[in-house]
Structure 1
Amino acid sequence: MREAERDSGTTRTTLRLERLRPDHADALLAFERENRAYFTRTIPDRGDAYFADFAAVHAARLAEQDAGVCHFHVVTDEQGHLVGRVNLVDVEDGSAELGYRIGERAAGRGVATAAVGEVCRTAATAYGLVALTAVTTLDNPASRAVLERNGFLPAGELTLVGRPGIAYRRALR
């Protein structure tokens, strides 16, 4: 478990980045349900099957993590409430793709920037990765800002779920 501090002007808040565990299932499902409509404003919906079969989905994620092909994390606040998740998927040849979701209640307060920064440090030190990639749509300026604040550089344009997007890359060493 790692802690990251975020400074929102006058207040310092401690966030905790925790590697996904079996006991996160209930809180993670509640987080995804609570934020489903919020997330679908900017990213594709996970679909009803994700929620209906969440126990199997969670078990599959843990198996992927155990196999070393993915590293999943939850982000909790000072009170231990799950406020986001940050994932590294498709780990291969020292690289992985970064993905993250911060719940609506925590949005706009620096949580994503702090959590992405912490997972970048963890990727380099604990997982031995040398580079990360990420993608977002052009019409998601908040996500683009989080990536750019964390040293990700534009690496090309693409289409993401039928929308114009941009790929980013960050060297970790």
Structure 2
Amino acid sequence: MSDTKLLCPWISMLFEPLNESHVSKLLAFELENRKHFESFIEPRSESFYSLSGVQKHIVDLQNLSGESFVLLANGVVLARANIKSIQSKGNAEIGYRVGKRATGKGIGTACVKHLVSVAKELGLNCLSAFVINNNPASEKVLLNNGFHLDLCIPNGFKHQGKSFHGFKYLRAVA
């Protein structure tokens, strides 16, 4: 776990491994930011947005090969971050969600930096991340954390009836 101070000196932020004690806080975060997230990515199923839905989601994540974290400030979830699809060759994919009120404050960068640190501890070799071109802030976060463009998928993603280009970014873990 890392203790990170980013928003202001009197707010301490802490990454915690996601577990069942976070169910109500994570549900509050997802509900508060639902429209914000759905403006960039496909919506989650309606069944997710309940205590039992989030609890099932957490249990499902714990049963997969990967690591999941929440970033808390004063007990409130600001963001979540995941390492997923860990392969035997040491490759894995990352993803993160930053709440709307926390955007533009370095939280996404802190999430990816934390995931890179965890990847080093896990002995991983390479991280990948996918972004569609409706989210330039996410691309900037990846570039700021040493990722480079690996692949472009022209019009490879549909969201809200529109086609978007997809980009795969890679970063060696040293």
Question: TM-score band (shorter)?
Answer: 0.7 to 0.9
| TM-score, normalization by structure 1 | 0.88
| TM-score, normalization by structure 2 | 0.87
Aligned residues: 164
SS, match of residue 155 in structure 1 = strand
In the alignment, what sits opposite 1:156?
151
Residues 147 and 171, structure 2, Cα contact 8 Å, conserved in 1: yes
In the alignment, what sits opposite 1:117?
113
Pair 1:99 & 2:100 matched: no
Give the Cα separation in 2 of the matches to 1:147 and 1:155.
12
When structure 1 is superposed on structure 2, of 54-63 and 25-34 the one drifting more is 54-63
Q: Return the offset for 1:152.
A: 0.5
In the alignment, what sits opposite 2:69?
73
Which residue among 18, 21, 43 is the counterpart of 2:19?
Answer: 21
In the alignment, what sits opposite 1:146?
141
Deviation per residue, 1:87-136 (Å, 9 max, x gap): 011011211111000001111111111121121111112x2211100010
5+ residue gaps, structure 2, are none
Deviation per residue, 1:51-71 (Å, 9 max, x gap): 24332222222222xxxx111
Residues 75 and 84, structure 1, Cα contact 8 Å, conserved in 2: yes
Residues 137 and 160, structure 1, Cα contact 8 Å, conserved in 2: yes
Identity of aligned residues (%): 31
Residues 94 and 131, structure 1, Cα contact 8 Å, conserved in 2: yes
Residues 154 and 168, structure 1, Cα contact 8 Å, conserved in 2: yes
Q: Return the offset for 1:20.
A: 1.0
Residues 98 and 134, structure 1, Cα contact 8 Å, conserved in 2: yes
5+ residue gaps, structure 1, are none
Residues 134 and 169, structure 1, Cα contact 8 Å, conserved in 2: yes
Corresponding letter in the other structure for 2:157? L
Which residue among 34, 37, 46 is the counterpart of 2:35?
Answer: 37
Runs of 4+ aligned structure 1 residues displaced above 6 Å come to: none
Give the Cα separation in 2 of the matches to 1:86 and 1:160.
22
Give the Cα separation in 1 of the matches to 2:91 and 2:23.
27
Q: CA RMSD in A?
A: 1.6
